[in-house]
Amino acid sequence: MKKTLLLAALSLALGACAQSGNGRLTLAEQGSFAVGGTVKTSEGRYDANPAALKGNNNDFWNVYQASTQAGGQTLHGDHAAVFYQIPERARSLPLVFLHGYGGSMRAWQTTPDGREGFQNIFLRKRYPVYLVDQPRRGQAVRSTVGSEIKATPDDQFWFAQFRIGSYPNFNQGVAFPQDQAALQQFFRTITPDTGPTDAAAITGSMGALFDKIGGGILVTHSAGGAFGWLIAGQNPNVKAVVAYEPGNFPFPEGEVPPVMENRFGNIAPMKTDADTFRRLIQIPIVIYFGDFIPDAPDGTQGGDQWYMRMKLAQDWVNTVNKHGGKATLVHLPKVGIKGNTHFPFSDLNNQQVAEHLAGWLKDQGLDK
């Protein structure tokens, strides 16, 4: 009886404790850093007394201009910005998230209707998460090359491209919230570039990130996927790649398919070198595509574009596996996960999408 009481009390106490791993998130560590990047230096000699150079105008920005025109100064740019969180009792391989075109780390932090994104979902599954803003994007906005940002209204173009629907109509059965507040939140995640896209800066900074953290699993989205293949192909610390609707795929010399003709934009498949391809066939790769991708071009922007890119994905998976690789293409509706846009990880069913990925990671032994 007393033993029972003791056990009951213990179980009560430990139960209250364990709860903190449920609704709550328990972190061992979190922080932020910049990684990679270059330094640009201006001609001239730094003068610590710009007041002596500036002429008669005491305006602060006039002094700034006098100082920078005298030169001899540096600009640190083209790095990636990283926010990371490591949960308690963490699994050994972190997930490293790289956004797509027009995206930022916010893509993984939330959903249009404010539910939990993959950041929280995979922290709860005890994976360390590293969220990246690629060079010249978001918090990594500082570019060594000047640029003009255009404020071009284009929400409706992307609404179609991302297979949410044909504005203002939503695709029937789409797993995207259809109230205006959620749609506005979605549009407000769009993050323009602040410099020309520099593939070397992106793959270089991501490589430096994997050098810093050691082994990890690279999770990419869309245009980030095209860089992702190069990052994984150049750095042995990338132990696996998870790619949500990557836009392109690197084929080895002699096996590159012809340009795919498409009224909404052609696609020229990427070509890669033998070393990069050799590494890609050594690691597990899973590629996910969502819903509303027809079996043949259907004359809509979203349908035609993603029909073509998913077809290219299948070609690439076949090529990789023919060379002994371990790549899988998952078309989500085929495994019963329906209604997904170009953003499966933040759609209404993102928990289900996450469960599929968690299962794949387990199957591959990447969840230790």
Binding residues among 91-120 for a copy of itself as defined by CB under 8 A: 104-106, 109-110, 114, 116-117, 119-120
CB of 261 to a copy of itself, least distance (A): 6
- Applying CB under 8 A, the span of 2-10, 272-280, 329-337, 352-360 interacting with a copy of itself comes to 2-10
- Cβ atoms of 87 and 28 closer than 8 Å: yes
Residue 71 identity: G
202 binds a copy of itself (CB under 8 A): no
Print the binding letters for residues 265-294 with a copy of itself: x by CB under 8 A, - otherwise: xx----------------------------
Work out whether 89 is an interface residue with a copy of itself (CB under 8 A): no
Tell me the C-alpha to C-alpha distance, in Å, between residue 313 and each of 99, 251, 285.
19, 11, 12
Sites for a copy of itself among residues 237-266 (CB under 8 A): 261-266
Instruction: Find, among 315, 296, 331, 289, the residue nearest to 163 by Cα.
Output: 289
Nearest CB to a copy of itself, comparing residues 141 and 330:
141
Q: Which is nearer to a copy of itself, 82 or 93 (CB)?
A: 82
- The CA distances from residue 159 to 106, 168, 186, 190, 324, in Å, are 18, 9, 10, 11, 38
Tell me: does residue 351 bind a copy of itself (CB under 8 A): no
Asked if 273 and 341 touch (Cβ cutoff 8 Å), the reply is no
β-pair type (165-166, 238-244): unpaired
Going by C-alpha positions, the residue among 127, 144, 126, 122 that lies closest to residue 135 is 144
Give the long-range contacts of residues 351-354, CB within 8 A, separation 24 or more.
351/121, 353/288, 354/118, 354/121, 354/122, 354/125
Q: Which is nearer to a copy of itself, 63 or 358 (CB)?
A: 63
Contacting residue, 4, 22, 153, 172, with a copy of itself by CB under 8 A: 153
Residue 222 lies near a copy of itself (rule: CB under 8 A): no
Near a copy of itself by CB under 8 A, which window of 191-199, 271-279, 319-327, 353-361?
191-199
Cβ-based neighbours of 307, under 8 Å, separated by 6 or more: 293, 294, 295, 296, 297, 298
How far, in Å, CA of 364 to CA of 240, rounded?
9
Does residue 55 touch a copy of itself according to CB under 8 A?
no
296 binds a copy of itself (CB under 8 A): no
Q: Does 46 bind a copy of itself (CB under 8 A)?
A: yes
Cβ partners under 8 Å of residue 88, min gap 6: 21, 26, 27, 28, 126
Q: Confirm or reject binding of residue 318 to a copy of itself (CB under 8 A).
A: no
Among positions 90, 170, 178, 187, the unique one binding a copy of itself when judged by CB under 8 A: 187
312 binds a copy of itself (CB under 8 A): no
Binding footprint of a copy of itself, residue count (CB under 8 A): 105
Among 190, 213, 256, 270, binds a copy of itself (CB under 8 A): 190
From the CB of residue 174, how many other CB atoms can be counted at a distance below 10 Å? 21
Q: Nearest approach, Cβ of 333 to a copy of itself (angstroms)?
A: 23
* 347 is an interface residue for a copy of itself by CB under 8 A: no
Q: How many CB atoms lie within 10 A of CB 69?
A: 14
C-beta closer to a copy of itself: residue 18 or 335: 18
Min dist CB 72 to a copy of itself, Å, is 7
Report the residue from 22, 31, 173, 295 that binds a copy of itself according to the rule CB under 8 A: 31
